[in-house]
Structure 1
């Protein structure tokens, strides 16, 4: 799908129906947002930008020279954007920014939330900036803001898990579902790993802008903005590192709780085995099928055997309690 935004008197606005049925794009086109473009839309974008746009395979390349480069008067930059962060399968989708001929093109194959939010806001009320660097700044700010929101939500979830992990252990309460806690911690760790990878790609792109590599197509204002937003990215990265260490602490605590619970179960089974062994020995002895058995001809033989079994069961319990094992 291709979304076309034009310069309408200094305001960025959505050009509804632009480029439909292969028609040429308006001369006022300022931003092309290509989401999983078709071959026809790819060709239209290449005509408007005056250069060949990268394919899906080229966008997915991980070499630094492929992600951040300047060629033929155009600037190519790739950023990994966090997508599907609220689901059980968060993903990173690469987004290629191409600046050429006074226009900005973005190519991505998953419509991440920052781009969707910015487009909707622009469709409703427009955006007060039509230069490539102004649109680029707005989009990257949306990506950073989205990442910050994901980290805040993950931090709040970890706080909730902390109160569950460090309260007094009570295996009878329904809240101590360690399996659910482990699953939640794994999900938080997965999201944090994706967020940190996205922040690393953002930092590399900002360093690229600060070095002036994109000076052919970007103004100095974008480089000044890059220096400012880099502080936010560094702060978010430090916060993500802190949350990652918190995930490790909670994971160790939860596994410790599971180990303690398992030890208590083994301890209980061991105590029951010791308690039941003497009565079982007595009953086995008096249950032997021999003609000549001591005490079998006594009137009080049976009560005596029962009493002996009870005494042999009570004595270990008394001893264990005295030693503090129960």
Structure 2
């Protein structure tokens, strides 16, 4: 069985922990028949909260049968890797959340996935990955009976609130790494590792943005629906606070994308400048080598001519022939040195 937690609440307090989905459905029907509501109007006192992890096909069919889930909702739960969304099927709402954790050691954003089905008297959370904070949210709402009495919307709010709060930690980690990249770039100590780090962070920020940006639109719509349904004012205010936090996160992530794009451009400029400096330095070396080669080449020609040992050469019987050859070599080398020196090749 993939059931992680299964509880039925009444009046904000845990009443029972059924062992199966069938038992939960029967208990929920009996409680609703006996006393579906209590206290102030609009406060749902009977609520089942079921937590699943990678449910089997049989369990998904059982969920659909016992809780009246739409077949499209069951199909969505079956498929992982979806974007954040909130789809309404009659009185049931399917919400896909993408909780995130930032791994500072590897500079990676670890994205999870949670499917949340909320109905008039039930909440079903389906974990599609190892990263899940539903247990922490359950502890929180169980410690606040007044919140739990509000109904499934309150549980969904708590899950949204925890997810967005975790986003703040991801934002802090990304911001710290981007600051480090900026310091490396402006310190002039950048190398190929900095470029790789920028590209990796750009990929992680883009993935994080895809998990955050769609949720803002869905939260705005959900907040509007709560207002139209005359949901408790405190719940609407709390959800509005979550929306404000999400807007802040989205703004920061978009700013990160802009900063990383600028960092990529700056890094490319610095790399081009370093390559240009290296090319100029190499060119200077080539000039020096070419200059000395030319200076040494001229005396070599003169020496090679006199080293041919021809039988009839006028200079062989001339007393000043040897000194003249040496002088010509020295003079040629000196003139070439002066010329290259004037051109700043040496």
Q: TM-score range by the shorter chain?
A: 0.7 to 0.9
Superposed displacement of residue 254, structure 1: 1.7
Q: Quote the RMSD (CA, aligned, Å).
A: 4.2
Question: SS of 1:32's equivalent?
Answer: strand
Alignment of 1:115-194 (within 5 A): 115-116=132-133, 118-120=134-136, 122=138, 127-128=143-144, 129-130=147-148, 131-167=151-187, 169=188, 176-194=189-207
Q: What is the rounded CA distance, in whole Å, between the counterparts of 2:161 and 2:186 in structure 1?
A: 37
Q: What is the rounded CA distance, in whole Å, between the counterparts of 1:104 and 1:244 in structure 2?
A: 36
1:44-75 Cα offsets, whole Å, 9 max, x none, are 433452325522587569799xx433323212
Name structure 2 gaps, 5 residues minimum.
29-46
Alignment of 1:87-98 (within 5 A): 87=106, 90=109, 92=111, 94-98=113-117
- Residue of structure 2 equivalent to 1:272: 285
Asked whether the 8 Å contact 1:12–1:127 carries over to 2, the reply is: no
Q: Residues 295 and 106 (structure 1 numbering): CA distance in 2 closer, same or farther, change over 3 Å?
A: farther
Which stretch shifts more, 90-99 or 33-42?
90-99
Asked whether the 8 Å contact 1:189–1:247 carries over to 2, the reply is: yes
Q: Residues 2 and 294 (structure 1 numbering): CA distance in 2 closer, same or farther, change over 3 Å?
A: farther
Q: What is the rounded CA distance, in whole Å, between the counterparts of 2:333 and 2:91 in structure 1?
A: 96
2:125 is the counterpart of 1:106: yes
Alignment of 1:267-306 (within 5 A): 267-288=280-301, 289-290=304-305, 291=308, 298=322, 305=329
Asked whether the 8 Å contact 1:5–1:32 carries over to 2, the reply is: yes
Which stretch shifts more, 216-225 or 186-195?
216-225
Which stretch shifts more, 232-241 or 189-198?
189-198
When normalised by structure 2's length, the TM-score is 0.71
Q: What is the rounded CA distance, in whole Å, between the counterparts of 1:4 and 1:294 in structure 2?
A: 113
1:194-233 Cα offsets, whole Å, 9 max, x none, are 2222222221221221221797797665433322221111
User: Which structure's relative contact order is higher, taking Cα pairs within 8 Å and 6+ residues apart?
Assistant: 1
Asked whether the 8 Å contact 1:13–1:122 carries over to 2, the reply is: no
- Residue of structure 2 equivalent to 1:173: none
Q: What is the rounded CA distance, in whole Å, between the counterparts of 2:314 and 2:262 in structure 1?
A: 63
Q: Residues 163 and 236 (structure 1 numbering): CA distance in 2 closer, same or farther, change over 3 Å?
A: same
Superposed displacement of residue 262, structure 1: 0.6
Question: SS of 1:43's equivalent?
Answer: helix
Superposed displacement of residue 99, structure 1: 0.9
Q: What is the rounded CA distance, in whole Å, between the counterparts of 1:146 and 1:14 in structure 2?
A: 30
- Selected match of 2:275 from 231, 249, 262: 262
Number of residue-to-residue matches in the alignment: 307
Q: What is the rounded CA distance, in whole Å, between the counterparts of 2:314 and 2:176 in structure 1?
A: 72
- Residue of structure 2 equivalent to 1:196: 209
Question: SS of 1:37's equivalent?
Answer: coil
Superposed displacement of residue 272, structure 1: 1.1
Name structure 1 gaps, 5 residues minimum.
170-175
- Residue of structure 1 equivalent to 2:63: 45
Asked whether the 8 Å contact 1:4–1:18 carries over to 2, the reply is: no
Which stretch shifts more, 207-216 or 261-270?
207-216
Alignment of 1:195-234 (within 5 A): 195-212=208-225, 221-234=234-247
Superposed displacement of residue 265, structure 1: 0.7
When normalised by structure 1's length, the TM-score is 0.74
Q: What is the rounded CA distance, in whole Å, between the counterparts of 1:294 and 1:94 in structure 2?
A: 98
Asked whether the 8 Å contact 1:147–1:195 carries over to 2, the reply is: no
Superposed displacement of residue 301, structure 1: 5.5
Q: Which has the larger radius of gyration?
A: 2
